[in-house]
Structure 1
Amino acid sequence: MSLAEVLIFVFALIPFSLSQLHPNEPAQYRTLPSLREQATILDGWRDVRLARLPQLLQKYELDAWLISQREYAEDTIWWSVRSALEFAPHRRTVMLFHTNTSSLAGRPNPLKWVDNTGAVWPELLGILETFDPNRIAVNIDRNIAFGGGLHVGEWDVLQEQLGEKWVDRMVNQPMLGIEFVAGRIPGQIEYYRLMQETTWALIEEAFSERVITPGVTSTEDVEWWYRDKIQERNFSTWAHPRVSVLKPESFPGWEGTKDIIQEGDLLHVDFGITAMGMNTDTQHMAYVLRTSQGEQDVPDGLKEGLKKANRMQDISIEKMKAGKTGNQVLKECLDQMKTDGIEGQVYSHPIGEWGHSAGAVMGFTNLPDFVPVLGELEILPNTFYSIELYAYHFVPERNETIRFRVEEDAYWVDDERGWEFVRGRQERLHLVNYTSPVEDKFSFTAQN
Structure 2
Amino acid sequence: MGVALALMASLLATELQAQDDAPAFAQGRVIGQVPAVLPQRERPPVINRLVEDRLDTLLPKLMRETGIDMWLVINREYAEDPVYFTLVPHPVHAARRTTMLVFHDRGEGQGVERLTVNRYPFGSMYESAWSGGNLDEQWQGLAELIADRDPARIGINVSETWPVADGLTSSLHQRLRSELGPELGERLVSAENLVVRWMESRSEAELQVYPHIVSIARAVIAEAFSEQVITPGATTTDEVAWYIAERFAALELPIWFMPYVNIQRAEFECGDNDPFCGRSNEVILPGDVLHTDVGVCYLLLCTDTQEMGYVLRPDETEVPAGLRRALAAGNRWQDLLTANFASGRTGNEILAATRDDCEREDLRCLTYTHPIGFNGHGVGPTIGMWDNQGPTPVRGDWKLSAHTAHSIEGSVRSPVDEWNGQDVAIKLEQDAVFDGEGVWYLAGRQTEWLVVR
TM-score tier by shorter-chain length is: 0.7 to 0.9
Contact 1:46 / 1:80 at 8 angstroms: preserved in 2? Answer: yes
For 2:417, which of 375, 396, 401 is the aligned residue? Answer: 396
Q: Give the letter aligned to residue 404 of structure 1.
A: I
Alignment partners' CA distance in 2, 1:339 and 1:101: 50
1:195-210, aligned counterparts within 5 Å? 195-210=213-228
Match of 1:188 in 2: 206
Contact 1:141 / 1:174 at 8 angstroms: preserved in 2? Answer: yes
Alignment partners' CA distance in 2, 1:406 and 1:255: 13
Contact 1:263 / 1:290 at 8 angstroms: preserved in 2? Answer: yes
Match of 2:170 in 1: 152
1:49-128, aligned counterparts within 5 Å? 49-51=54-56, 52-100=58-106, 108-114=113-119, 117-128=135-146
Question: Shift in Å at residue 168 of structure 1?
Answer: 1.7
Question: Shift in Å at residue 163 of structure 1?
Answer: 2.9
1:283 aligns with 2:283: no
Q: Give the letter aligned to residue 298 of structure 1.
A: V
Q: 1:188 to 1:128 in 2, by over 3 A?
A: closer
3-state DSSP class of the match of 1:193?
A: helix
Question: Shift in Å at residue 101 of structure 1?
Answer: 5.5
Question: Shift in Å at residue 358 of structure 1?
Answer: 2.3
Give per-residue Cα distances to partners, 1:80-105, cap 9 Å, x unaligned.
10211211111111122110259xx8
Q: 1:204 to 1:71 in 2, by over 3 A?
A: same
Match of 1:337 in 2: 358
Alignment partners' CA distance in 2, 1:144 and 1:204: 35
Match of 2:260 in 1: 242
Contact 2:381 / 2:399 at 8 angstroms: preserved in 1? Answer: yes
3-state DSSP class of the match of 1:385?
A: strand
Q: 1:304 to 1:107 in 2, by over 3 A?
A: closer
Match of 1:40 in 2: 45
Question: Shift in Å at residue 406 of structure 1?
Answer: 0.3
In structure 2, runs of 5+ residues without a counterpart are 1-25, 120-132
User: How many percent of aligned residue pairs carry the same amino acid?
Assistant: 29
For 2:296, which of 273, 281, 290 is the aligned residue? Answer: 273
Match of 1:138 in 2: 156
Match of 1:22 in 2: 27
Alignment partners' CA distance in 2, 1:402 and 1:167: 58
Q: 1:39 to 1:60 in 2, by over 3 A?
A: same
Give per-residue Cα distances to partners, 1:208-237, cap 9 Å, x unaligned.
111111221111101110111112223221
Match of 1:165 in 2: 183
Alignment partners' CA distance in 1, 2:191 and 2:388: 25
Contact 1:242 / 1:256 at 8 angstroms: preserved in 2? Answer: no
Alignment partners' CA distance in 2, 1:117 and 1:253: 52
Question: Shift in Å at residue 43 of structure 1?
Answer: 1.1
Contact 2:117 / 2:141 at 8 angstroms: preserved in 1? Answer: no
TM-score by length of 2: 0.84
Give per-residue Cα distances to partners, 1:19-42, cap 9 Å, x unaligned.
xx9243325411133434422221
Contact 1:27 / 1:198 at 8 angstroms: preserved in 2? Answer: no
Of residues 368-377 and 106-115 in structure 1, the stretch that sits farther from structure 2 once superposed is 106-115
Question: Shift in Å at residue 272 of structure 1?
Answer: 2.0
1:319 aligns with 2:340: yes
3-state DSSP class of the match of 1:285?
A: strand
Contact 2:287 / 2:312 at 8 angstroms: preserved in 1? Answer: yes
Match of 2:434 in 1: 412
Give per-residue Cα distances to partners, 1:190-215, cap 9 Å, x unaligned.
32222222222211111111111122
Give per-residue Cα distances to partners, 1:354-407, cap 9 Å, x unaligned.
111121110111221211111100111112111001001122322422321001
Q: 1:352 to 1:256 in 2, by over 3 A?
A: farther
Contact 2:164 / 2:195 at 8 angstroms: preserved in 1? Answer: yes
Contact 1:242 / 1:254 at 8 angstroms: preserved in 2? Answer: no
Match of 1:425 in 2: 445
Question: Shift in Å at residue 286 of structure 1?
Answer: 0.8
Alignment partners' CA distance in 2, 1:116 and 1:421: 50
Question: Shift in Å at residue 188 of structure 1?
Answer: 2.1
Contact 1:289 / 1:295 at 8 angstroms: preserved in 2? Answer: yes
Q: Answer with 1 or 2: which has the greater Rg.
A: 1
For 1:299, which of 304, 314, 320 is the aligned residue? Answer: 320
Alignment partners' CA distance in 2, 1:420 and 1:116: 51
Q: How many residues align?
A: 407
Alignment partners' CA distance in 2, 1:338 and 1:56: 38
Contact 2:28 / 2:447 at 8 angstroms: preserved in 1? Answer: no
Match of 2:373 in 1: 352
1:363 aligns with 2:369: no
Alignment partners' CA distance in 1, 2:232 and 2:388: 37
Q: Give the letter aligned to residue 353 of structure 1.
A: F
Alignment partners' CA distance in 2, 1:78 and 1:396: 53
Alignment partners' CA distance in 2, 1:116 and 1:395: 70
Contact 1:219 / 1:258 at 8 angstroms: preserved in 2? Answer: yes
Give per-residue Cα distances to partners, 1:425-447, cap 9 Å, x unaligned.
111211112xxxxxxxxxxxxxx
Q: Give the letter aligned to residue 65 of structure 1.
A: W
Question: Shift in Å at residue 317 of structure 1?
Answer: 1.4
Match of 2:4 in 1: none
Q: Give the letter aligned to residue 198 of structure 2.
A: F
TM-score by length of 1: 0.85
Contact 2:104 / 2:112 at 8 angstroms: preserved in 1? Answer: no
Alignment partners' CA distance in 1, 2:365 and 2:33: 32
RMSD over aligned Cα atoms: 2.3
